[in-house]
Chain A
Amino acid sequence: EAQVTQNPRYLITVTGKKLTVTCSQNMNHEYMSWYRQDPGLGLRQIYYSMNVEVTDKGDVPEGYKVSRKEKRNFPLILESPSPNQTSLYFCASSFLNEQYFGPGTRLTVT
């Protein structure tokens, strides 16, 4: 089954404690991206990757890092999380701009 998986689905952490949210897709898509979704703001792109070892900033990259060492995986790294990063995060892979989203990771930073 074609899918995008994310882990964990829920995470509660404290300010400053490094965390990684994993993302994996099995559709052999070159393009992957991370979004955060906040009430009233819709989905905003954090980072994207056009292929292995090629990443670039989206609209709200501050406080986030990504890596793309393999085509199928695109982890999101928060080196020092802060409360304003509390949000719902989605990973997506794309074919011809049509996005296939993961199920989401709800992150709470206290």
Chain B
Amino acid sequence: TQLLEQSPQFLSIQEGENLTVYCNSSSVFSSLQWYRQEPGEGPVLLVTVVTGGEVKKLKRLTFQFGDARKDSSLHITAAQPGDTGLYLCAGVIWGGTSYGKLTFGQGTILTVHP
């Protein structure tokens, strides 16, 4: 059973379009992270959101954490071919240790055509 459902799995758009990727769960997370992965490389952390309702912006990327801390979204404005890649969300649930358990969604493969 996938704890984090990411949608859509595939997204193919033209340069200049806007898009949103969703990450949903029935579980409450302590924090949620978004990573971007390019072919032949490991995922790279883009952002961590911690507070319910939090919104963070990274240039043309806007990340939002749901009020109940069960879901998150990534919105890209005016997508560019350089945005092409695999986007992964990952939720953290704090346990009894100083490190929480990290669970990844299935990922969204984004292709931006020139």
Which residues of A are in contact with B by a Cβ distance under 8 Å?
A: 4, 31, 35, 40-45, 50, 90, 92, 94, 97-104
Contact = CB atoms under 8 A, between A and B. Distances in A.
Contacts of B102: 45, 97, 99
A52 B43 CA distance: 25
Contacts of A35: 104
Contacts of B2: 42
A50 B97 contact: yes
A54 B95 CA distance: 16
Given A50-B99, A101-B42, 16 more contacts: A42-B4, A42-B6, A42-B105, A42-B106, A43-B90, A44-B104, A50-B98, A90-B43, A92-B42, A94-B99, A97-B31, A98-B45, A99-B33, A99-B35, A99-B43, A103-B41
Interface string B70-114: 000000000000000000101010000111101011110000000
The SS class assigned to the A binding surface is: strand
A102 B100 CA distance: 20
Contacts of A45: 102
Contact of A42 (B41, B48, B98, B104): B104
Given A50-B99, A97-B92, A98-B48, A40 B41 contact: no
A92 B41 CA distance: 12
A102 B45 CA distance: 12
B62 interface: no
A40 B43 contact: no
A108 to B, nearest CB: 16
A97 B97 contact: no
A98 B30 CA distance: 13
Contacts of B105: 42
A4 B42 contact: yes
A43 B99 contact: no
Contacts of B41: 103-104
